[in-house]
Amino acid sequence: MKLAIFVFLLAAAYSGYGQAEKRTIAITIDDLPVVSTRGDLKNRQEITKKLLAHLTNAKVPAIGFVNENKLYSGGIRDAQQINFLKMWLDAGFELGNHTYSHRSLNNIALDDYQADLIKGESITREMLGQKGKKIQYFRHPYLQTGRSMEVKGQFGKFLKQHKYIVAPVTFDNADYIFSRAYDIAFDKGDMALMKKVGDAYVPYMEAKLEYWERQSMKLFGREISQTLLTHANFINADYMDDLAAMFKRRGYKIISLEQALKDRAYELPDTYVGPAGISWLHRWARERGKEFVIPGEPSVPEFVLKLSGFESE
């Protein structure tokens, strides 16, 4: 019965009802206000200003997902950190909940995870209210959504009770690895190495996008509206305009998350209960069978991986 329901929904998603003919993508940005080794206030202000300027100039209706533990210092609200969120809202962007402390649902009790979600909405909800807006989207840290259908089902009910919509990701990538490598190069004062990392970043992201396009075609016979995960980091502050230009060169219209989720593909259930945080395209493909997961997903260049230190973690 479960498979029959999935196949029925897949057929509806395959039809592409409600999907624009043009390629579309929504850009979502995690770990607000900033995630970087550049910890001093001046550098974090620079990252935020540059990132917002790129998004504004490219007319990108992005949404940022907040970790509110970054908005406190010594247990007290930090007005300077909170001002970064004000900058996002003043620029016209939407904000969502990424939990208070960025802990994984796979590693803590459901009650603790739900409490962390509620703790992570207070300042964001307050600030959105001042703009006449409401918080409505939730993004799982690490894209880890639970190790059992029982946990997923209970958490789904919790989200519904609190009027949250899950923000899925189809265009998963390792921008966080590039980010750490870029930060390390900056901390070393090696501008040439920073440029080398930056020069590899957009081509990597384009190769990943092409992979997810092919995965979409394999699963649905069409390209669905993609949802991109990126982070509020140094490398995106420098290269978001190049990313936006790449999307437009490939024929993409950049749309809001709300618009992207109107694609009927997102009506398919998420039944993945493994340990990893993986793309929704891979979740849906695994539901049909491993043969629907296409090979050849691009990897991070070896020099970036080595510089970042992730290869030893």
* 199: nearest Cα among 303, 292, 108: 303
Give the three-class secondary structure for 23.
Answer: strand
Q: How far apart are CA 180 and CA 233, in angstroms?
A: 9
Write out the two tokens for 276: 């990893």
Decide if 27 contacts 62 (C-beta within 8 A): yes
* 77: nearest Cα among 38, 126, 25: 126
Give the three-class secondary structure for 133.
Answer: coil
For the cut 60, the answer to whether the pLDDT of residue 4 exceeds it is: no
**Mean per-residue pLDDT, 249-264:** 98
For the cut 90, the answer to whether the pLDDT of residue 1 exceeds it is: no
For the cut 70, the answer to whether the pLDDT of residue 197 exceeds it is: yes
CA 243 to each of CA 151, 212, 214, 284: distance values in angstroms, whole numbers, following the listed order = 36, 16, 19, 26
Q: Which domains does the chain have, with CATH numbers?
A: 2-312 (3.20.20.370)
| pLDDT of 18 | 44
| pLDDT of 311 | 75
Q: How far apart are CA 164 and CA 138, in angstroms?
A: 6
The answer for 138, left when phi > 0, alpha when psi is -120 to 50, beta otherwise, is beta
Q: DSSP assignment, residue 171?
A: B
Give the confidence band of 38 by pLDDT, cuts at 50, 70, 90: confident
Write out the two tokens for 50: 């540059």
| pLDDT of 124 | 98
For the cut 80, the answer to whether the pLDDT of residue 224 exceeds it is: yes
Decide if 77 contacts 71 (C-beta within 8 A): yes
For the cut 50, the answer to whether the pLDDT of residue 17 exceeds it is: no
User: With pLDDT > 90 as the criterion, what percentage of the chain qualifies?
Assistant: 91
Give the three-class secondary structure for 86.
Answer: helix
Average pLDDT, the chain: 94
In this structure, the chain runs to a length of: 313
Give the confidence band of 15 by pLDDT, cuts at 50, 70, 90: low
| pLDDT of 21 | 61
**Mean per-residue pLDDT, 165-171:** 98
Decide if 70 contacts 82 (C-beta within 8 A): no
* Residue 152: Cβ within 10 Å count: 19
Q: How far apart are CA 242 and CA 54, in angstroms?
A: 9
Write out the two tokens for 92: 């016209």
Q: Looking at this protein, which amino acid is placed at residue 270? A: D
Q: How far apart are CA 214 and CA 220, in angstroms?
A: 10
Write out the two tokens for 41: 């206030």
Q: How far apart are CA 44 and CA 232, in angstroms?
A: 10
Q: Looking at this protein, which amino acid is placed at residue 102? A: H
Cα Rg of the chain (Å, integer): 19
